[in-house]
């Protein structure tokens, strides 16, 4: 009886071990990553103080924040690239007040389908604008306002081809491209401002050599 139980226990142990090995062998681990994210965040703060300095100068303090990312998906014949560039900075100078030193919004996306080695048919879009109002006379808020968020704001949509021989070089050509210029600040919606045809227009469209205003 003891021998029977010992043999049975041994067989059960072999069976359980075989099942474990089968489970381990049947699991396929995908180690290939199709997404890549490259980028950096920036935050800089600077200060300058002058006291009885013969060369002159004004006390000031400034800051700058930004983000720059490239997010890419690549699998088989599909290529999808996304670029995000954001930046804003200000400087407070004694006697002048606060001025912005950088102001940028630049976001773009491009999808491509490979048709030959390193070549893709592509479709893409982009947005360019700024975060805050801009003024004449070195961004002096007491001066005339000349720009603002989405005033202007540029939206581009186009089709073309993309050449990507390696991860370090990407060139996109878009012979067919539509561009919308938006002016959403009412103070800047005047004829001639950023291509607007009439007072009160909020946008302007152009497609290659054909142009027409888009009003709403």
Evaluate if residue 59 carries a pLDDT over 90: no
Evaluate if residue 9 carries a pLDDT over 80: no
The pLDDT confidence band at residue 65, using thresholds 50, 70 and 90, is: very high
pLDDT of residue 122: 97
pLDDT of residue 160: 94
Q: Where is pLDDT greater, at 175 or 119?
A: 119
Q: Report the C-alpha gap between 164 and 173 in whole angstroms.
A: 12
Q: Report the C-alpha gap between 65 and 97 in whole angstroms.
A: 19
Mean pLDDT, rounded, for 88-106: 91
Q: Report the C-alpha gap between 37 and 209 in whole angstroms.
A: 37
The pLDDT confidence band at residue 3, using thresholds 50, 70 and 90, is: very low
Q: Strand pairing partners for 114?
A: 120
- Name, of 10-14, 48-52, 62-66, the range with top average pLDDT: 62-66
The pLDDT confidence band at residue 209, using thresholds 50, 70 and 90, is: very low
Q: What is the pLDDT of residues 160-205, one digit of tens each?
A: 999 999 988 999 998 888 999 999 999 999 999 998 999 999 998 9
The pLDDT confidence band at residue 99, using thresholds 50, 70 and 90, is: confident
Mean pLDDT, rounded, for 89-110: 92
Q: Where is pLDDT greater, at 164 or 32?
A: 164
Mean pLDDT, rounded, for 56-84: 93
Give the predicted TM-score (pTM) of the model: 0.79
Rounded to 5°, angle at Cα 207 from 202 and 211: 60
Long-range contacts of 136-139 (CB under 8 A, 24+ apart): 138/99, 139/99, 139/100
Contact 105, 86 (CB under 8 A): yes
pLDDT of residue 203: 93
């Amino acid at each position: 009886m003891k021998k029977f139980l010992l043999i049975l226990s041994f067989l059960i142990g072999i069976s359980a071990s075989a099942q474990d090995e089968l489970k381990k062998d049947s699991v396929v681990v995908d180690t290939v990553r199709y997404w890549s994210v490259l980028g950096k965040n920036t935050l800089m703060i600077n200060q300058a103080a002058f006291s009885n300095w013969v060369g002159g100068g004004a006390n000031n303090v400034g800051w700058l924040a930004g983000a720059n990312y490239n997010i890419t998906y690549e699998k088989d014949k599909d290529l999808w690239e996304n670029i995000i560039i954001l930046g804003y900075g200000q400087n407070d100078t004694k006697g002048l007040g606060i001025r912005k030193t950088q102001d940028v919004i630049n976001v773009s996306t491009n999808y491509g389908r490979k048709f030959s080695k390193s070549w893709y048919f592509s479709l893409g879009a982009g947005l360019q604008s700024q975060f805050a109002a801009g003024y004449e006379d070195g961004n002096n808020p007491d001066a005339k306002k000349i720009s603002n968020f989405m005033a202007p704001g540029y939206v581009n949509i186009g089709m073309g081809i993309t050449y990507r021989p390696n991860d370090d070089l990407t060139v996109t050509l878009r012979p067919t491209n539509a561009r919308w210029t938006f002016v959403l600040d009412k103070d800047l919606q005047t004829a001639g401002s950023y291509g607007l045809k009439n007072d009160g227009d909020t946008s302007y469209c152009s497609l290659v050599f054909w142009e027409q205003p888009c009003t709403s």
